[in-house]
Amino acid sequence: MTPLEAAAVAAAGLAAGAINAVVGSGTLVTFPVLLAVGLPPVTATVSNSLGLVPGSLTGSLGYRRELAGQGGLVLRLLPASVLGALTGAFLLLHLPASAFEAVVPALVGLAVVLVAVQPLVQRALARSRADDAPRPLGRGRLLALLAGAYATGSYGGYFAASQGVLQVGVFGLLVRESLQRLNALKNVLTLTVNTVAAGAYVVVATERVHWAAAGLVAAGSLAGGYLGARFGRRLPSPVLRAAIVVLGCAAVAVLLTR
The full length of the chain comes to 258
Q: Which domain holds residue 182?
A: 3-256
Backbone angles phi, psi at 219, to 5 degrees: -60, -45
Domain count, the chain: 1
Give the residue ranges of the chain where pLDDT is below 50.
129-133
Closest CA to 22 of 154, 177, 175, 182: 182
pLDDT confidence of residue 132 = 46
DSSP classification of residue 182: H
- Is the Cβ–Cβ distance between 218 and 13 less than 8 Å? yes
Q: Please report the sign of the dihedral spanned by the C-alpha atoms of residue 63, residue 69, residue 70, residue 75.
A: positive
pLDDT in tens, 133-165: 455 667 888 899 999 999 999 988 988 777 887
pLDDT of residue 122: 62
| pLDDT score, position 213 | 95
What is the pTM for the complete model shown? 0.80
Q: Alpha helix locations (H) across the chain?
A: 3-22, 27-36, 41-62, 71-94, 97-101, 104-127, 139-158, 163-172, 179-204, 211-232, 237-256
Residues 6+ apart with CB under 8 A from 138: none
Residues 6+ apart with CB under 8 A from 167: 24, 148, 149, 152, 185, 186, 189, 190
